[in-house]
């Protein structure tokens, strides 16, 4: 969206696969599992009802998380489906003129 380029479905899958591989290579399986357990524990604490009056009600927290998730999904889908609309393709145009070297 920033550079007005569109991404194909194959590129989207490729970027996702590369990102998953990078995270696995950087952290390792044990670190990924410990972070996943910590995130699940935090989510359980967020969605459980609490007796504290300072916290938001469980229903309001669920609504807020749902709104954030929908917004994030909307941004991802918009970025995936974004196109310039001018029919431009990403092909390389070859010039008939010989290139001039500066050095």
94 assigned to some structural domain:
no
Quote the number of domains for the chain: 1
44 assigned to some structural domain:
yes
Q: What is the pLDDT of residues 19-65, one digit of tens each?
A: 999 999 998 999 999 999 999 988 887 777 666 655 677 788 888 88
Residues 12/80, Cβ–Cβ less than 8 Å: yes
CA angle 48, 53, 55 (to 5 degrees): 50
88 assigned to some structural domain:
no
Q: How far apart are CA 14 and CA 10, in angstroms?
A: 6
Residue 19 DSSP class: H
Q: What is the pTM of this model?
A: 0.42
Residue range(s) defining the domain that contains residue 60: 9-81
102 assigned to some structural domain:
no
93 assigned to some structural domain:
no
21 assigned to some structural domain:
yes
């Amino acid at each position: 969206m920033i550079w007005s380029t569109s991404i194909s479905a194959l590129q989207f899958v490729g970027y996702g696969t590369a990102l998953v591989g990078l995270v696995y290579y950087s952290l390792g399986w044990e670190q990924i599992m410990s972070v996943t357990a910590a995130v699940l524990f935090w989510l359980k604490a967020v969605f459980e009802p609490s007796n504290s009056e300072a916290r938001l009600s469980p229903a309001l927290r669920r609504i807020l998380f749902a709104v954030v998730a929908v917004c994030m999904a909307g941004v991802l889908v918009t970025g995936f489906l974004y196109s310039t609309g001018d029919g431009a393709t990403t092909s390389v145009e070859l010039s008939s003129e010989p290139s001039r070297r500066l050095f």
